[in-house]
Amino acid sequence: MSGPVWVTGAAGFCGTHLCRELVANGEEVWGWVRRQPESPVKGVRYVVGDLLEPGLLSAQADAAPPSRFFHLAAVADPRECAADPEYAERVNVDLVDQIVSVLVNQAPDCRLLYASTCHVYGVPETLPIVESHPLRPRGVYAESKARGESAALAGVKRGLHVVVSRAFHQSGPDHAAEFALGSWASQIASGGKKVCVGDVSVARDYTDVRDVSRGLVCVLERAPATSRVNLCSGRAVTLQKMLEGLIGDRAVDIVVEQERLRKADVPVLYGDASYAEGLGWTPRISIEAMLEALLESYSSRTSILPSPSVS
């Protein structure tokens, strides 16, 4: 396909790894970011700006219409969505409408991938969760992502090739400390003697972000239009087991903090990856290797910090 590959949310956790994957595949990559990233991916042409700014996408599409479009940008923190639902709606839904319109009018041959989430399924009726499972999202974040799916798939009736990915939980190198595994890795790498946690009895379906990035490329290249595709490992692992994997043989106390506990958390959640496997994708990186890479990414940060002065 001719034309560059566009990635929104290119400085985010998954977006950064996706850009690396695409560059490694020899693609011309345009990464859309709100500000220049501190650690840019070599080979990516970054476009700095607010995607909600009228005319920005259209002007760039005139200059270099994309051949493929990975839409990862979103208000992804449920707490931020709950605090400002109107802004979440603008980014997670209205922006998708704008993207579809720009592509229909200026790059009708472009393939569009909308990065959704497993949270659109809500509380599972059956496990593992298949793509045909009813959507019963709970909360502003999940509800807006479900509406974002509908906005993206509306582009099919207008002639676009649109697919939806539904990634389950992911982690790996540089996972932000705002999330459970990243928080634990940060605490452990800092050398503290305790790790503060929430409910570690729940079991979740985790996949390494580098595998998810490969999955996004596979889905956009191989899935028929209107496809919804789970990207997951197909198994659930307790957070307790992953915490133990991060701690290893270190002498660390585990402290459960009430403010980290969530009400009505689903005890077990995992997906069915059969459809993605049929497209040719399977996770390659083990949970153990994922945790090792995550911890190493935080350990390398602490090792380059300046030593405190001694008075």
Cα separation, 170 vs 175, in Å, equals 9
Q: What is the pLDDT of residues 286-301, one digit of tens each?
A: 999 999 999 999 998 7
Q: What is the pLDDT of residues 196-229, one digit of tens each?
A: 999 999 999 999 999 999 999 999 999 999 999 9
pLDDT > 90 in the chain, percent: 91
Start-to-end C-alpha separation, the chain: 62
Domain topology for 5-171+207-231: Rossmann fold (3.40.50)
Whether the domain at 5-171+207-231 and the domain at 180-204+235-270+285-303 fall into the same CATH topology = no
Distance of CA 226 to the CA centre of its chain: 20
* Kind and range of the H or E run holding 167: strand 161-167
Write the DSSP symbol of residue 268: B
pLDDT at 258: 77
Q: What is the pLDDT of residues 71-109, one digit of tens each?
A: 999 999 999 999 999 999 999 999 999 999 999 999 999
Residue 302 has pLDDT above 70, yes or no: no
Provide the CB-side half-sphere exposure for 82 (13 A, CA). Answer: 5
Q: What residue spans define the domains of the chain?
A: 5-171+207-231, 180-204+235-270+285-303
Q: What is the pLDDT of residues 225-279, one digit of tens each?
A: 999 999 999 999 999 999 999 999 999 999 998 777 766 578 999 999 999 999 9
**SS3 of residue 207 by DSSP:** strand
Cα separation, 150 vs 121, in Å, equals 14
**Taking residues 136-156, what's their average pLDDT?**
97
Q: What are phi and psi of 150, to 5 degrees?
A: -60, -40
Tell me the CATH architecture of domain 180-204+235-270+285-303.
Answer: Alpha-Beta Complex (3.90)
